[in-house]
Structure formats: structure tokens, C-alpha cells
Structure 1
């Protein structure tokens, strides 16, 4: 073989080796690219799944926040409603306080008027006594006169009789008023001592409407139970007027108070009418 042939053989062999190396390297690079692409796809899938989870968490957190805000708004609305209700109750209590103060002022004025009337009657009685003494003096003077003096005597006697009638009338009024006042003071003091309720509380009894739950006639003077108690403002010593429709039956006085009921003793009945279960009961008529 010639040298040129050998050279061609060597060159062809080298080229074949180079081609084989290039092909081998290219296949390896292609395999690496496929693996990298697969790995990258896995990473992208993992990243997408992670982001989807984060997005879902954010959505859940957003829904939780919306629920919390809605609950907070509801609580705020309830708090505002409670505030308005309490304000309305405060206003009602203030109105009741003002009404009680006005009623107390009215009672005070009535007592003052009674005292003034009593003083006025006393003054008129004293004036009548003075007039009587004056008329008696005129009578003595008239007995010494003639003619017209006798007529003056008769006039004086008539005036004296009228004055005496007035005095007796005034004395009767004073006695009656004094007895009435004394009896009222005794009854009021007995009621205060018996129940422990102050005069102001008795005078300012609120309007309470209820009904008779039951009657026990076996205990003198008779007991009734009423469906109103401390929750409704009832106190010992309060009185209820009992009636059925337009028929008034009598009066009872509270001796024991519980939460939603009270027990009262019968203090007055009218015309033999019997207090029965279902009758209406009210602190005022």
C-alpha cells in the first residue's frame, strides 16, 4: 500500500472517530436536555402546586376575615341596640322620678293647704267667741234701753243664736277634722310599722295592673295571691283595688312579696261581694 493510501486510511479513521465522538456527545447532550426539561417540569409543577396552595390559603384567610368583619358588625349593631335600649330605660326612669317628685310636691301642697285650713278654722272660732262676747255686751246695753233698744235686743239675740250655731258648726268641723287627722296618722303609722314601707313609697305607688291567682278564706281576714311581685315594683304595704268588670269588690294590702307574685290580706269588701280567682287587681282605679 502506498503512503497516500495509508494517509487516507488514517484520515478516514480519524474522521470516523471524530464523527463517532460527536454523535456520542450529541446523544448524551440530548439525553441531559430531556432530563433537565423533565426536572424543570417537575419543579414548575411543584411551584404551581405550592402557589395554588398559597392562593387557597389566602382565599381561606380572606373568607375568615370577611366572616370576622361580619360578626364584628353584628356585635356592634347589638351593642348599639343595647345602648339605645338602656338609654330609653334611663329616660323612662328619669321620667318616673320626675313624676314622683311632682306627686310628692302635690302631696306636700295638700298637707300645707290642710294646715292652713285648720289654722283658718281656729281663727274663725276665736273670732266667733269674740263676736259672742261683743253681742253679750250689746245685749246688756240693750236691756237698759227703751223702745228701739228692745228691738236691738231681739236682733242681738238672733245674731247670738246664729253665732252660736256657727261656733257649734265650726267646733264640729274642727273636732271631725282633728279626729280624722288623728285616725289617719294612727293608721298611717300602723301601716308603716307593720310593713316597713315609708310614707313616700305608699303615697307614690306606681300603677300596677294584675289578676287574682287564688283566694284562701280559711285564714282571717282572708288572703289572696296576685300575679305581680318585686319584678313589677310591688312592695309590702301596697294596696290593690279588686274588681270584676265594672263591679268593685274591695281592697287588699300586700303582706308578702316574691319575684313574680305577692300575697295580700283582705282589708275591705263591698256589699258582701266575694273576691274570686280571676278578678282584676290594680293599685289605682
Structure 2
């Protein structure tokens, strides 16, 4: 639109200048009497008409100049606006560049944070694995400790049993020593003779306890002379797999023999049905 206005103003200006030149030439020609007045032909314009047209063209030219100035002002304003806009555009471009730089920096920060987050997740996974392994190790250690405690308790029970057995054996030994002393006091030389007779190898003879008087220390067994039993022989008394005591033959009959208790376990009394043998396998 601005270009059209400028073109229109330029054309009007050229037309007005030509009209001014024509008017001057015409007036000069009329002032010179030597120049004959042209005869008007039908359709030709009179000087007044031409003057009117010139005046109108002058007015049009003035209007065109006003419009040209107005459009020029608008054009200048537009150029100023364009300049301001160029400045704003440059400023916006600078801001865009800064934003792009900030965006790149933020992207780098996001990438760094993602890397750190991945490292933290890996570390968390490793710690979780170690924690689970520690829990397993703890459970295994607790189980091992409970097992060790159970074994310790069992060992303590065994130790107590062994102590009780030792105490029992000590009591049995004391009882046997007391019985031996009593037998020595009762039998005297006869007891020594029986002990001497029991020396040497004994044949393998097995039998059972028929009667038992633990208070008196007298035991009756089911084997006698017919089985090869002799005075002074010793028999081991057992009940199942448990050792009960030791007895020595004092009197022998055909099918049975009377014995005295030599070694007895105080907590286990010899009773009818116990197994007796001259040799423990």
C-alpha cells in the first residue's frame, strides 16, 4: 500500500509540473501579438476551462502531497516500529539463545541427575542384596548358635551324667571295698582262699540269678558243679546292656551255686532274672 501511494504521488507531481509549463508557454504565446491566436475548434477547451483544470490539478497535487506526507510519516513510523521490532527481535533472539543455553544446561543437569539416580538405585539394590545376605547370615548364625547351645546343653547333660556315673562308680567302689572288708572280716582265711582259688583262667559259663538278697549280699545262680562252676569263681552280672555288678562263688551244688557280691552298683540292685557270665564279650 505504501508503494502504491508513493507511485501515485510521483505521477501527480510530474503531471502538475507539465501543466505548469504548458500554462506558462500558453500565456507567453498570448502576450506575443505576433503569434496568431489559434482558432478554437469544436471540442477544444477554453483557457478558463484549462485554468480550472489546472487549479483542480493543483488542489489534487496538494492533496496528493498531503497524502504523500501522511504516508511518508506512516512509512517513517513504520520504519521506526520496524526498527523497534528489529531491536525487540534481536533482544528476543538473545533471550532465545540464552534459553537454548539454559535448556542445554538443564538437559545436561537432567542427564547427570539421571546418572546419579541410576547409581543410587544400583547402590540401593546392592545394599538390599547385602542386607538380605546379612539377614540370611544372621539366621544361619542364630541357627548355628541354637545348635551349639543345644549341643552345649547336651554336653552339659552328658557331663552331668558322667559326673553322676563317676559318683556312682565311686560309691560302688566304696561299697565294694566295704563289702570286701566285711567279707574279709567274715570269712577271714576262707575268703583269701577263695580269692586265691579264683585266680587263673575261668571257663565260659553263663547262667541266671535265681534269688537275690542285696542287703545280705547273697546271690543264688542257676549253674553249679555240673556246669563246671567251682568255689572262688567270679561272675559278671548284667541286665540287657547294663553292667550291674560282680559276684564270687562261695558254695557250689550240682545245679546251682551261692555267691557273694564283690562289686555292686548302689543305684542298681541285683535281681532275679539278671544274666551272669564268667566272661563279658
* TM-score with structure 1 setting the length: 0.41
| Relative contact order, higher structure (CA 8 A, sep 6+) | 2
Q: Which structure's CA Rg is the greater one?
A: 2
